[in-house]
Amino acid sequence: MADKELVAVRPKVAEEEDTGAQVAPIVRLVEITVTTGEEDEDVLLDMFDKDDNQWKERGTGTVKLLKHKETGKVCLLMRQAKTLKIYANHLLVSTMKMQEHAGSDKSCVWHAADFADGELKEEMFAIRFGSVENCKKFKDLVDEIAESLAKDEGKVNEDGSSTAGLLEKLTVSESKSEEGVKGEAVTKSEATASE
């Protein structure tokens, strides 16, 4: 017995004629103001690529680097072009390494702890731009921010080292008085001088 192949047959539909009738909209849409959560941040970079040949893992859309006005922290935020759904949302950190994607000077790859899906998880990202210039601008700015964060962390570590040195010299001794037990902080040099 031979295998049979099923073929879908579409009925012929007569071509629709243009009657020239005008239909009024049923629902009237009113423009409203939408709060995005980006109001307390300054935009450092805002790019939109209209090229439809981009990778579809996350979709096409706008990628922004946003710096919070009070904390100074910088985050990368990517929204899908038409729905504005968040596809990438993570802080830029000093250890972030932006690398050119193999085989394309228009794309970059990096790792980040992302919060786009509502939970923090390590993800690998790739982004492709419509031009080499936009890719270079994006990569250079991310690298510059990461270097700046590394320098700031170095300053904090230096301050922390000097504070740690002072804490090493600090000891606590107890002295009893009629009112009860008191803790008194003295430096090592004061403690050895009083002994």
Residue 173, pLDDT above cutoff 60 = no
From residue 101, how far is each of 68, 98, 129, 139, 188 by CA, in Å? Answer: 29, 9, 11, 11, 56
Confidence (pLDDT) at 140:
93
Please answer whether residues 102 and 81 qualify as being in contact, where contact means their C-beta atoms are separated by less than 8 angstroms.
Answer: no
Residue 168, pLDDT above cutoff 70 = no
Q: What is the mean pLDDT of residues 171-185?
A: 45
Nearest to 109 by CA among 126, 122, 123, 132: 126
Q: What are the pLDDT digits (tens) for 50-92?
A: 554 444 466 788 899 999 999 999 999 999 888 888 989 999 9
Q: Which amino acid is located at 71 in the chain?
A: T
Q: What are the pLDDT digits (tens) for 98-119?
A: 888 888 889 998 989 999 888 8
Residue 191, pLDDT above cutoff 60 = no
Q: What are the pLDDT digits (tens) for 121-163?
A: 888 888 889 899 999 999 999 999 999 998 888 776 565 555 5
Instruction: Give me the residue label for tokens 């802080």.
Output: 91
Tell me the CATH architecture of domain 41-156: Roll (2.30)
Indicate the average pLDDT of the chain. Answer: 74
Within 13 A of 129's CA, how many CA atoms are on the CB side? Answer: 19
Confidence (pLDDT) at 77:
93
pTM of the model: 0.54
Ordered by start, the domain boundaries in the chain are 41-156
Sequence-ordered alpha helix ranges (H) in the chain: 132-169, 188-194
